Structure 1
Amino acid sequence: MSDLEGKVVIVTGGSSGIGKEMVRELLLHNAKVYLTARNPEKTRNVIEELTKATGKTAIFLNLNLRPEVCQSRCGGVPLVRIASYAAAEHFSSLPGKRRVYDRCAGGRLIIIGTSQRHAMPGPSDMLTVQGYDYYFGVNVLGHFYFTKLPLPALLATEDKARVVKTSSSAIYLPLGSKILFDTLKDGQTKKSKSPMHLYGQFSMFVDVMFVLELARGYGDKGIVSISLHPGNLKTDLDQHANWSNTVIW
C-alpha cells in the first residue's frame, strides 16, 4: 500500500474483523480515517488500541441504528441520515483533496441489528424502523443512502474517488438471482422465505447491482465503484447464522 497522506477514508464497521484491520493499515499509511461503528464504548477501546499500534488516531462516527435507539434519540429519524450529512459536510470543507470512500466487510454499514457488520442470516422476522425487511434495510438502503449523501464531495475531488464494497460468493446462489419485491416488507411472502434467501437477494445481489450502477453512472465522472469477495475469513460476521450455514460458508 502506498502513502495515503492527504486522503480521507470512511471505514464502515471498523471496530472489528476486516474493518478493524483495514483501519489499522490505513492509519499506518497516513490516511485520515473515519471509523463508523455502533458501540461507543467498544469502539473507544479499539481506537485506543489502534492509536498505540500506529501512533495515529481514527475519528469515530456513531452509527448505532437499532430501532429503540432511533426512536428514543431522534424521533424515528435514521441516524445514518445525521451521520451522512456530517460526513458530507466535512468532505465539502476539504477542497482539492482526494477522497477514498471505503466500505469493507467487517466493514459494512449496519442500520439495524446487534452486529455492526454486513449482516449474515439471522432472525427473518426483524424489520427496520420504517418497516422494511432487516436485510434490505441494513445492507441495501443504508449503503445506498450513506453513499448518496456524500456524492457531491466524491465528485468534487481532484483525483478519482473510490467506493469499495465487500460482496460474497452468495451472489452465485440461485436464491440470490432475482429480487422478490413482495419480501421487502412484512407479509406472507416474506415469512415464507428463509433467512438465507433474504440474505442472498438483499445483502449480496442487490448490493452488487448498486455498485455496478454507480460505476455506470459516475465512472466517467471520476468515481471508481467496485465490489469484491474478501474470502472466507474467521470473524464474528456469522454470529446470527445457524450451524449449518456456518459450516457451508
Structure 2
Amino acid sequence: MSQPFQWLIQAFPPSPKWSPDDMPDLSGKVVLVTGGNSGIGFEMIKSLLRKNAKVYLAARSEQKGAAAIRALEQESGGKTAEFLQLDLSDLAAVRASAQEFAKRESHLDILFLNAGVMFPPPEQLTAQKYDATVGVNVVGHHLFLRLLYPLLLSRPSSGTSPGPARIVWVSSCANYLVPGCLDFATFTRTRTSGAHEKLKVDVDLFGMYCQSKLAQIQASALVARRAGEAGEDVVSIAVDPGHIRSDIFRGTTSFFFKLWDMLIAYPVSYGALTPLYAATSTEALAYNGKYLRAWARPGQPHPASYDREQQEQLWSWLEEQVKDYI
C-alpha cells in the first residue's frame, strides 16, 4: 500500500470503541500537557481534570493560558489546571520551564508532547535559528523531555501512582508523506548577506511538518527501546489523533487544506481520544514503542519509523543541538 494512500485512508476510521469516559480515576497523578491552551491539548486537559488528575497546562502565552484555565474550570465542574509557561521555540526558555516545573513537582506521571505548529510564516525561525516547525515540534520537545526525564523516573513505586510513567507523542498521519527519510539539511536555514539580511524562504512548509511528525515517531520508539534496555519504568507511545478540525491550518491559505478541514475533519473532541487512551489505558501498555492511529487502533507508520540506524541518527543530531542547555 502506498504511503500517500495510507495517509488518505486515515480520514475514514471506523467508529471508536473507547472514549475518555473509560479512563480510570487519576487521583494522585501528575500530568503535563504541552500546547494545552487550545485544540486537542485543551480537550485532553478537560477530560483529565474530570478524572481528578493534577494537570499542568504548558503554553507560551500566559494570557491565553489563563483564559484556557478559566474555561476549563467551567467545563470540568470547578476543577482547575496549573499554568506552566513554555516557549518551545527558544531552548533557553525550555530549560527555564523545565526548571520551574522541577521546583513545583517531585515527579511526573504522564507527559503529553502535544504542542505543534504547521504552516508558520516561511521566514520564521526559532531563537536558535531552526526551521520553526522542526524547532518547536521536535527540537524544543526533545530538550523538554530530556530535562523532565528524571522526574518520570522518580515516580513513587507504590501508593496513588502505580504503573509506569508514560510519554505520549502527538504525531500525525502526515508521517506517511515523507519521501524516504529525514533530511537534516532542511532543519536549519541561514540568512543571506545584505542590508536587510533577508531570509531564504524556499522551504516546503508542509514537507517540514511531515518530517517533524516522522521524527516524533522515531524518537518515541527509541525512547521506549532505551528505557527497556535500561530497566526503566517508562512507556513511550506515538499517536495519530486523526484528521481533526482545530486551528492547525490557521497559517495557510491553501484551498485544499481549508476544504479538507471543513469537509473531512472531525470535531476536536475526537482528537483527544487516542492520546488519552495511550496515556491511561492498561491495554495501551502493549503498544510501548509503537504507533496508534485514530481511534485508539494499532497502526503501521512510515517504514523509516522503526529503522534503528535512522532513530540513532536523529537522536545524535538532537543531542548535538541541545547539548548547551542540558
Same fold (TM over 0.5): yes
* Inter-partner Cα distance in structure 1 for 2:64 and 2:206: 29
CA deviations over 1:165-208 (Å, ceiling 9, x no partner)? 11111111143x312222122149x854411122211x211111
User: What secondary structure does 1:226 align onto?
Assistant: strand
Name the counterpart of 1:137: 135
Name the counterpart of 1:74: none
User: What secondary structure does 2:83 align onto?
Assistant: strand
Query: Are positions 1:122 and 2:145 aligned together?
Result: no
* Inter-partner Cα distance in structure 2 for 1:215 and 1:179: 20
- Root-mean-square deviation (CA, aligned residues, Å) is 2.1
User: What secondary structure does 2:105 align onto?
Assistant: helix
CA deviations over 1:35-72 (Å, ceiling 9, x no partner)? 01122222212211221332211000112456xxx6xx
CA deviations over 1:210-241 (Å, ceiling 9, x no partner)? 11111111134111100111111111011112
Instruction: Return the match for 1:99 from 94, 109, 122.
Output: 109
* Inter-partner Cα distance in structure 1 for 2:221 and 2:46: 28
* Inter-partner Cα distance in structure 2 for 1:126 and 1:193: 11
Larger Rg: 2
Q: Is the 8 A contact 2:88 2:136 kept in 1?
A: no
User: What secondary structure does 1:185 align onto?
Assistant: coil
* Inter-partner Cα distance in structure 2 for 1:156 and 1:204: 28
Letter in 2 for 1:195: L
What does 1:29-48 correspond to in 2, within 5 Å? 29-48=51-70
* Inter-partner Cα distance in structure 2 for 1:50 and 1:193: 37
Percentage of matched positions with identical amino acids: 38
CA-CA distance at 1:26 after TM superposition:
0.6
- How many residues in Structure 1 have an aligned counterpart in Structure 2? 221
Query: Are positions 1:81 and 2:81 aligned together?
Result: no
* Inter-partner Cα distance in structure 1 for 2:48 and 2:258: 30
Q: Is the 8 A contact 2:36 2:57 kept in 1?
A: yes
Query: Are positions 1:212 and 2:215 aligned together?
Result: no
* Inter-partner Cα distance in structure 1 for 2:184 and 2:67: 41
Letter in 1 for 2:84: L
User: What secondary structure does 1:237 align onto?
Assistant: coil
* Inter-partner Cα distance in structure 2 for 1:221 and 1:65: 26
CA 1:233–1:213 in structure 2 vs 1: closer, same or farther (change >3 Å)?
same
Q: TM-score, normalised by structure 1?
A: 0.81
CA deviations over 1:135-191 (Å, ceiling 9, x no partner)? 22111111111111111111122230000011111111143x312222122149x85
Letter in 1 for 2:93: L
> Which stretches in structure 2 are left out of the alignment for 5+ residues?
1-22, 158-162, 193-199, 262-326
Q: Is the 8 A contact 2:178 2:207 kept in 1?
A: no
CA 1:125–1:2 in structure 2 vs 1: closer, same or farther (change >3 Å)?
same
> Which stretches in structure 1 are left out of the alignment for 5+ residues?
71-76, 109-117
* Inter-partner Cα distance in structure 2 for 1:65 and 1:147: 11
Name the counterpart of 2:177: 173
CA-CA distance at 1:242 after TM superposition:
3.0
* Inter-partner Cα distance in structure 1 for 2:209 and 2:75: 35
CA 1:246–1:212 in structure 2 vs 1: closer, same or farther (change >3 Å)?
farther
